Amino acid sequence: MSLTLPLLPRADWHAPVARHGGKSITLAAFINDVNTLAAQLPENGHVINLCNDRYLFALGFFAATVRGTITLLPNAVSAEIYARLRAEFPQLLALTEAGCDAGGLPELRVSHGPDGGAIPPTMPQIPADRIVSRLFTSGSTGAPQPHDKTWGKLVANILAAAEAQWSWTQGPCSVLGTVPAQHMFGFESSVLLPLLGGGVLMPERPFFPADIAALLSVMPQPRALVTTPFHLRTLLESGVALPPVELIICATAPLSQELAVRAETSMNAVLAEIYGSTETGQIATRRTVMTNEWAGFKDISLTDREGRTWAQGGHIEQAVPLGDVIEHRPAGENGRERFVLHGRLSDMINIAGKRTSLAYLNGVLNSIEGVVDGAFVQPDEETPGAVARLSAYVVAPALKPADILNALRKRIDAVFIPRPLTFVTELPRNETGKLPQAALQALSRNASAGKSATHD
């Protein structure tokens, strides 16, 4: 008989686990909602969870987990993705809420049941080896790839994250996220962390700084904000008065120490950065204002072979080669891995014998006063015998090309100066602030066609 684990590791049926519609949702009410929805789902099938309301998303995911139905979580949805999923999973069912576009799939509307209700007879028990979700990589370095997650490993992942994150706050928090629940970081930190880690899930995904501030001010304390460096920078530069929070959890892109200091000072918070991937889940954290070293989660090991660093152990389903350049540091007193990141392998650049990374160059570009957003791009092809030239796209309505180029020359070698530097109105970032490879290629084609202002 296989090992089973409870759906939620809590004992008090009257304890609040989430909020919805301005009201507190108890553990009993949540499990009743889950059981009601689970009875309507196909057994051993597949669903795609399209709910933006985080509480309804959680209901859909946990109901599918109880039923034995695998939840598909593509990083984005489009006509092409719907067509591919329909071809691969002919019986695919979409879990939706009001206003959702199911892409022509048969759909089941998710809703919260009436308040109150009887205490459930038991807590659902889930086989640890059951595959409960299939997440897809972001596509920031190529075509999105699927990765299955089993219940036991997913729970271990979140308990390790809770141990790390709640250490900054001396206990669980209510959690608000600006990132979508369908992305690995949002899935782990804004849905599973509060529910499996003893906190309170907030259903909203605010976009505008004023909305973020308003929601944070009325959340139960202690409070945590799950966000990305791109969203965080926009929030801090908005001029909106921000309430204090106990914890900011940040991931999906490199975070500068300067931005981390601003965030901690502005919100009287601890900012904890997360390192991980769709393949591994979260595997390390750091307080960015204090150190550039990452502290690994319990039982995670990093080993070098075949020119790559591999992560394994703990909650990782199988050994995974990491996409980053890792510098190992002596293990901490608790024996856990410690390391420094030097950029993604795919970001490392060698021009005329000089090396750097796109992450470093992007950090320099975005630190220039007046630059709203910007990104360097490697050339698609190199002409034999020619010196490769980087290009860059920038959103900087108040600046001139010379302003940016002069600022860059003060901090980076001349061989890395972008040629051309292209001004655009915005960069095609996805909902987590990443720049998918396909979107950058489309931006490059548009610039080449003369649709953007380009300066050599």
| Among 149, 231, 230, 244, residue whose Cα is nearest residue 192 | 149
- Tell me: do 168 and 317 sit in the same domain: yes
Instruction: Beginning with the edge strand found earlier in the chain, give each strand of the sheet holding 223-227 in spatial order.
Output: 23-26, 16-20, 200-201, 174-177, 223-227, 247-250, 270-277, 281-287, 294-296, 338-344, 324-329
Is 277 a member of any domain?
Answer: yes
Biggest CA pair distance of the chain: 75
- Give the per-residue pLDDT at 352: 66
- Give the per-residue pLDDT at 350: 75
Task: Give the domain extent around 86.
Answer: 1-136
Bridge partners for 373 per DSSP: 395
Between the CA of residue 140 and those of 25, 145, 344, 417, 435, what are the distances in Å?
37, 11, 11, 23, 6
C-alpha to C-alpha distance for 342 and 209, rounded to whole angstroms? 31
Last residue of a domain, one of 136, 170, 186: 136
- Tell me: do 183 and 90 sit in the same domain: no
Neighbours of 1 (CB within 10 A): 4
Is 196 a member of any domain?
Answer: yes
Going by C-beta distance under 8 Å and a sequence separation of 6 or more, which residues neighbour residue 381? none
Is 99 a member of any domain?
Answer: yes
Predicted TM-score (pTM) of this structure: 0.84
- Give the per-residue pLDDT at 385: 43
DSSP code of residue 1: -
- Residue 315, helix vs strand vs coil: coil
Question: Pairing state of beta strands 270-277 and 247-250?
Answer: parallel
Is 271 a member of any domain?
Answer: yes
- Tell me: do 48 and 98 sit in the same domain: yes
Going by C-beta distance under 8 Å and a sequence separation of 6 or more, which residues neighbour residue 393? 374, 375, 377, 422, 423, 424, 427, 443, 447, 452
- Give the per-residue pLDDT at 179: 93
- Give the per-residue pLDDT at 353: 67
Check which CATH number belongs to the domain holding 260 and give it.
3.40.50.12780
- Give the per-residue pLDDT at 78: 79
- Tell me: do 304 and 335 sit in the same domain: yes
pLDDT by 10s per residue, the chain, length 456: 579 999 999 989 999 999 999 999 999 999 999 999 999 998 889 999 999 999 999 999 999 999 999 999 987 787 888 888 888 999 999 999 998 988 889 999 999 988 777 899 999 999 999 999 999 876 555 556 889 999 999 999 999 999 999 999 989 999 999 999 998 999 999 999 999 999 999 999 999 999 999 999 999 999 999 999 989 999 998 999 999 999 999 998 888 898 999 999 999 999 999 999 989 999 999 999 999 999 999 899 999 998 899 999 999 999 999 989 899 999 987 889 999 998 788 777 778 667 787 888 888 898 899 999 998 887 665 544 445 688 899 999 999 999 999 999 998 888 889 988 999 999 988 777 777 777 777 777 676 655 445 555
- Tell me: do 95 and 123 sit in the same domain: yes
Between the CA of residue 75 and those of 48, 90, 139, 254, 434, what are the distances in Å?
11, 20, 8, 19, 11
Going by C-beta distance under 8 Å and a sequence separation of 6 or more, which residues neighbour residue 289? 257, 260, 261, 264, 271
Is 143 a member of any domain?
Answer: no
C-alpha to C-alpha distance for 178 and 29, rounded to whole angstroms? 25
- Tell me: do 317 and 172 sit in the same domain: yes
- Tell me: do 192 and 335 sit in the same domain: yes
- Tell me: do 121 and 243 sit in the same domain: no
Last residue of a domain, one of 321, 344, 367: 344
C-alpha to C-alpha distance for 272 and 256, rounded to whole angstroms? 12
Check which CATH number belongs to the domain holding 375 and give it.
3.30.300.30
Number of domains in the chain: 3
Phi, psi of 267 (to 5 degrees): -115, 10
Going by C-beta distance under 8 Å and a sequence separation of 6 or more, which residues neighbour residue 405? 417, 421
Check which CATH number belongs to the domain holding 120 and give it.
3.40.50.980
Is 141 a member of any domain?
Answer: no
Is 142 a member of any domain?
Answer: no
- Tell me: do 180 and 320 sit in the same domain: yes
- Give the per-residue pLDDT at 449: 56
Is 16 a member of any domain?
Answer: yes
- Tell me: do 434 and 393 sit in the same domain: yes
- Tell me: do 226 and 90 sit in the same domain: no
DSSP code of residue 224: E
Last residue of a domain, one of 274, 309, 344: 344
- Tell me: do 108 and 158 sit in the same domain: no
